[in-house]
Structure formats: C-alpha cells, structure tokens
Amino acid sequence: MFIDIPSELEAALIDLPLPTWELEGSFLAKSTMERFRTELTATPQFEETAVTLRHALTREDGGYAVLRLGNLAKALGTGNRFRRLVTGLAAEVAVPFSPFPRWPLWKDIGVKIDKDPGKSSGIGYNAFHMDLVNASLPPDYTTLLCVRPDPLGGGLSILSDAHAAVARLSENCRALLAESAYHYGTSFDLFGVGEEYGPFPVLDGSDPGEGFVRFTAKMLDRSELCQAHAESARELAEELVRGQVSFMLQPGDYLILNQRRFLHGREALHSGQETIPAADRRLLLQLFLRAAAGDGSAA
C-alpha cells in the first residue's frame, strides 16, 4: 500500500507549474481538475502511477495507500506549489472538497497541548473512527499529508479494515450494530456532506463487506447507549484494534483512506510535547474527497 513515485516522474513533477485552483462551492472546480489532469498526464509514468493508486484504494484486499512524496516536498517545500501538485494527484481518485466553510481546501491538523488529548489535534491516543460519522453523506475518502511527524517519535498512524473486523463479530452483535441506536456529537455549518444523521446504525444494511461502518470509539464514552448496544460497539472497537496496522508517516507522505473500507486513528504523541516550539510540532494537512456516482465508491 506504499507507492513510490518513479524517479522520471518525480523529475517531471518538480518542473511542473500547475495553476492555482478554483472552487465551485466547496468542491474543486471541474475546470481546475481538467487543467490539472491535462498537465499531469503529459508527464512520464503518471498514468501508470495513477492506475496503481486507484487500484490500491478500490481492490478487494485494498482500501488505503500512502504516496511517498518526500523527494518532491524537499525540492518544492510544502507550500502552495506542492499542495497544488498533491491536490492534482488526489483529483485522480475523486473530487477534492472542504466540508468546512471556515477552512480552506486543506485543513491544518497541528498539535495543541491544551486540547482534548483524544482529538485530532490533541496529544493523546485518537481512537478508531470515521470522519464526519454523523453526517448523512460522509466523505468517501479522507486524506492526510504529512508536513512534519512528531519530532519526539510518537504519533503512529493506525488503520483497520472495518469490514474484516465486523466479519469476526457474532451474528447477534452485528444485528445490534445494524439498529439505529447510535449517535455522536452534533454537526452544523457544513457543506457537501448531507444532513446531520442521528441516531444512526453502525452497519448501514449494505451487503457484507460494503458500505460505511459508521463508527467512532468516542461514542462509547460520550453517548448514552443501552448496555447491549454499548457492548456491541465495544466488541467492534476491540476487533478494530486486533486487526490494526500502524506506521509512521514521514515528511511528504500522503495517506489516502477509503472510508467505506477502513477506519483510522493515531497513537499518542511522545511525552514532552510542551518542550517543542509550536511551529516545530507534528503537522498534517487534511483533504476530503467525494467519489463520483457509479465509480464503485460513491453512495
């Protein structure tokens, strides 16, 4: 699931000046996507790399990929030019968009030592979840671009195959997870993700191995659930941990996750974050993608 960029393609991308993007509402404009694609497909081995990426995300035993863009990040820096390039790569998978009107297309996920430790910008363990779990149309893909890993060596990314975890549960447990008994948080002022959804089923009624597994471990502590529903969710959380894979994102690594197949989280950052200047702490950039209808990943 780790994809290295061929050296010939790297060299061509370093010299490729992609145009500034434009948005249509909260989505990357079609005209921008077409311009990006025209420029990118003219580079050597780009099409082959894009096919490899899409295959990794959609094949039966796939669901995530990490594009190794470290050399490009070193050559270009991690500013606008590099981000345009990564946006163009993301657009080969699905349509980039921002569900948050107060944020630009790419959202910073830094480290705040006074934040709830379990949040994405906190310093503690961020348990398995899908992004925007309580939206009726969650993003099909969530993506994370590593600008800086934790300089103290913590913060491993953790992923788990949600459908494989569900398949290991008992029939009774799966039946309880399919009931509309779960809820988490509130949503407001969002674009492109439908309406607030709750209560919702963890399992959406799709055929086994398909559809969202609408889960966040935070609802175990922050939602009122009856004992049976809470226990079923807890069993799923344990199976997700049992089946997890973990790795450290390096500068320039770009993680793309199919939310219909995998859930994600993060191990705790290393102790001592307060000794690191804020500008030197771990920094990821997040971008969401919406699949086109009929491509095998859309609702």
* Report field, pTM of the whole predicted structure over 0.85: yes
Measured between alpha carbons, how far is residue 150 from residues 78, 111, 249, 287 in Å? 17, 9, 9, 20
Query: Mean pLDDT over residues 188-196, rounded?
Result: 88
The domains of the chain are located at 2-287
Note the pLDDT tens digit of each residue in 228-269: 999 999 999 999 999 999 999 999 999 999 999 999 999 999
CATH for the 2-287 domain, from 3.40.980.10, 3.40.50.10800, 3.60.130.10, 3.30.465.10 = 3.60.130.10
- Give the orientation angle of helix 30-41 with respect to helix 46-58, to 10 degrees: 120
Residue 224 or residue 227, greater confidence: 227
Round the CA-based radius of gyration of the chain to a whole number and report it.
19
Q: Provide the pLDDT confidence category of residue 293 given band limits of 50, 70 and 90.
A: low
Share of the chain above pLDDT 90, in %: 86
Residue 224: per-residue pLDDT: 83
Q: What is the mean pLDDT of the chain?
A: 94
Query: Mean pLDDT over residues 95-99, rounded?
Result: 97
Residue 294 pLDDT greater than 80, yes or no? no
Residue 205: per-residue pLDDT: 77
Residue 299 pLDDT greater than 50, yes or no? no
